[in-house]
């Protein structure tokens, strides 16, 4: 787009990027050419749960209604791995499982029926 005379501000608008991102990409392209296109390694810590552990957690969570502490206890017992509850629930959420809090009481409320028939 730059070679076609399009300004950086317009490129940012069209591609829904910040102006800074447009300039960074142009700089990388001018420095490295085609080598700048592949995505580089991401920052951040590696996952604390292996794919095997995550698969086992999904099996346990799907087979029976277990609490997060119960899943954590099983994980530690079987794999010797300790993770925080937020790590567990986040991993299960990303795996497509919905995490719901259980209710203490399932009492239904009584409603009185109102008669609509005349007389």
- Residue 61 near residue 92, CB atoms below 8 Å: yes
Phi then psi for residue 29, to 5 deg, are: -65, -45
Tell me how far apart the alpha carbons of residues 65 and 68 are, in angstroms, rounded to a whole number: 10
Are 88 and 53 contacting, i.e. CB atoms less than 8 angstroms apart? Answer: no
What are 33's two structure tokens? Answer: 């050419």
Model pLDDT for residues 76-112, shown as the tens digit of each residue: 999 999 999 999 988 998 888 876 666 666 666 655 5
Q: How far apart are CA 21 and CA 24, in angstroms?
A: 5
pLDDT of residue 103: 65
- Overall pTM surpassing 0.85 (yes/no): no
* Whether the Cβ atoms of residue 66 and residue 60 lie closer than 8 Å to each other: yes
pLDDT tens digit sequence for 20-62: 888 888 888 788 887 777 777 777 888 899 999 999 999 998 8
pLDDT of residue 73: 95
Residue with the bigger pLDDT between 119 and 44: it is 44
């Amino acid at each position: 787009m730059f070679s076609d005379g399009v300004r950086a501000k317009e490129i940012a608008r069209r591609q829904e990027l910040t102006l800074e991102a447009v300039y960074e990409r142009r700089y990388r392209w001018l420095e490295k050419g085609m080598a700048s296109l592949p995505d580089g390694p991401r920052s951040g810590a590696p996952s604390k749960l292996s794919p095997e552990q995550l698969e086992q957690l999904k099996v346990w969570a799907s087979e029976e209604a277990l609490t997060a502490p119960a899943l954590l206890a099983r994980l530690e017992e079987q794999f010797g791995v300790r993770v925080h509850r937020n790590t567990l629930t986040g991993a299960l959420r990303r795996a497509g499982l919905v995490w719901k809090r259980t209710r203490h009481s399932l009492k239904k409320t009584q409603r009185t029926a109102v008669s609509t028939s005349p007389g």
